[in-house]
Amino acid sequence: MATDEDAHCYHYDGAAREGCANANATDDAALSVAILLALGFLIDPARPYAFDAWVLRMLRRPGDLAVPVGPAWLKEAMVDITALGGATVLTLVVVVAVGMLLVSRKWMAAALVAAGTISGSLAVSAAKEIAARPRPDVVPHLVEVSSQSFPSGHSANSAIVYLTIAALLTQVTGADARRTYLFAVVVALVTVIGLSRMYLGVHWPTDVLAGWSFGTFWALAWWRIGQWLRIHPHAAMPQDEREPVG
């Protein structure tokens, strides 16, 4: 997930390089919060965008909005896929990932994964309460839901968890085809989880877009924090976690 800004930071030495990387992390975190705040204020909870309603209706059979488009097995597949972005599965993924890093003696990476995913989840929960956007009512829901609609928790939290874990793992593993494959799988997984929320009629498309945006920038911010710690000469990071990866 290297960017031009990251490469630019490495042209500096000492404190200047540390400050550059730290500023990038702060900018990403601020941008992710700004996206949520901006969209939350722009969306009128009582009047969803016409685009939102149009997309949800397009995903249902004309004349019978209780039936989703596509073959019968697609609905079951979407229910299974959406569970991959639920609290139970994501918690298990974080626990397994942190455990793997701990037994591998990657202490700082484990701490960053735990801190990034937990803080991101709390931020999403707070945003839901602040925005207080009702769930879609233009089509019947195909699964049970209880919380507010904006942003999509499944979309945001799956992006936060899967992308943060993948991004931080790349800092302690070599750069090869496996890293590219990991990111491709994670991006595809986060995408289909978000699409499943719309297909099941439990989120407006703008909820999902906001969740994807927030989760992606949140993960990027924690990746930058990891990079900053790796180049900070006084950070309490083991030497083997400082080694640059190709």
Structure tokens given for 151:
């942003």
Quick one: residue 3, left, alpha or beta (phi over 0 = left, psi -120 to 50 = alpha)? beta
Q: Which residue, among 99, 100, 94, has the nearest Cα to 113 in the 3D structure? A: 94
Three-state secondary structure of 123-163: HHHHHHHHHCCCCCCCCCCCCCCCCCCCCCHHHHHHHHHHH
Angle at 67 between CA 63 and CA 73, to 5 degrees: 145
Catalytic site residue 154? yes
Tokens 């701990």: give the residue: 102
Catalytic-residue membership of 203 = yes
Q: Which of 8, 141, 203, 234 is catalytic?
A: 203
Catalytic-role residue among 8, 11, 141, 154: 154
* CA–CA gap between residue 213 and residue 219 (Å, rounded): 10
CA distance 38 to 40: 5
* Active site positions, annotated: 154, 203
